[in-house]
């Protein structure tokens, strides 16, 4: 088994946190979830960070997270925030898996409550525009593109088989 970090990237609602948990069940590697760690460090929720400190501040926290992981962490599962590949070089953290999910499936996965946790998902049409705009960046930052329109079991199996 490899000691390299497994880095999950993808749009909001593409299942990074759920896939991370499924990978944990199979490998027992620890999960580091960038949003959860940043929110905990700042003692604020993600929407609170956006509204009180601004998106630029949040992106700086993501950059710091990415750099710290690249220098100090190995053998973990890294669940990233959906915007991280746009602002940071995610490849420095480990092997990058893009969870590629159709926008319709993303919409059907996200409850109202889940949407409220995501300041950049407030408007469905704008979210679709962002999704389309970001696709190329996700693809070009990925070592492996995973079809995430499948069961969690199959997704995590595909990831582990590619190692
Ligand atoms: C963002 C995605 C969110 C969170 C923040 C910004 C984005 O994470 O980091 O709201 O720019 O796509 P999830 O991908 O876990 O929703």
pTM: 0.97
pLDDT tens per residue across span 63-94: 999 999 999 999 999 999 999 999 999 999 99
Round to whole Å and give the CA distance between 27 and 30.
9
- In the three-class reduction of DSSP (H, G, I as helix; E, B as strand; rest coil), residue 28 is classed as coil
Closest atom, ligand 1, to C-alpha of 13: 16
b vs e for 42-79, b when ≥16 Cβ sit within 10 Å of the residue's Cβ? bebebeebbeeeeeeebbebbeebbeebbeeeeebbbb
Pairing between β-strand 31-33 and β-strand 95-100 as defined by DSSP bridges: unpaired
Domain spans in the chain, listed from the N-terminal domain onward: 6-161
Q: Whose CA is nearest to atom 3 of ligand 1?
A: 81
* Surface-to-core class of residue 122, CB atoms within 10 Å of its CB (0-12 exposed, 13-18 middle, 19+ buried): exposed
Q: Which atom of ligand 1 is nearest to the CA of 17?
A: 15
Q: What stretches of 10-157 adopt beta strand conformation (E)?
A: 31-33, 77-79, 95-100, 144-147
> Is 113 within any annotated ligand binding site?
no
Contact call for residues 151 and 101 (beta carbons, < 8 A)? no
What average pLDDT does this structure show over 20-29?
A: 98
Our answer on whether the CB atom of 119 is closer than 6 Å to any ligand 1 atom is yes
From the candidate CATH numbers 3.40.50.300, 3.20.20.70, 2.60.40.1150, 3.40.50.150, the one assigned to the domain spanning 6-161: 3.40.50.300
Ligand 1, pocket-test mutation among 42, 82, 122, most atoms within 8 A of CB = 82
Q: Is 14 marked within a binding site?
A: yes
What share of the chain has pLDDT > 90, as a percent? 96
Residue of 10, 79, 83 to mutate, ligand 1, most atoms within 8 A of C-beta: 83
pLDDT bracket for residue 122 (50, 70, 90): confident
The whole-chain average pLDDT of the chain stands at 96
pLDDT of the residue at 38: 98
């Amino acid at each position: 088994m490899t000691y390299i970090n497994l880095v999950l990237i993808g749009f909001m609602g593409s299942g990074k946190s759920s896939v991370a948990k499924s990978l944990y069940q199979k490998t027992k590697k620890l999960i580091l979830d960038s949003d959860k760690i940043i929110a905990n460090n700042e003692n604020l929720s993600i929407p609170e960070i956006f509204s009180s400190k601004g998106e630029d501040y949040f992106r700086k926290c993501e950059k710091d997270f990415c750099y710290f992981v690249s220098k100090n962490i190995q053998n973990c599962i890294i669940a990233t925030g959906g915007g991280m590949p746009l602002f940071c070089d995610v490849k420095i953290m480990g092997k990058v898996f893009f969870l590629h999910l159709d926008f319709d499936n993303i919409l059907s996965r996200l409850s109202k409550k889940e949407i409220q946790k995501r300041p950049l998902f407030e408007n469905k049409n704008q979210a679709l525009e962002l999704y389309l705009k970001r696709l190329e960046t996700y693809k070009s930052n990925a070592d492996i593109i995973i079809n995430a329109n499948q069961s969690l079991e199959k997704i995590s199996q595909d990831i582990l088989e590619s190692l």
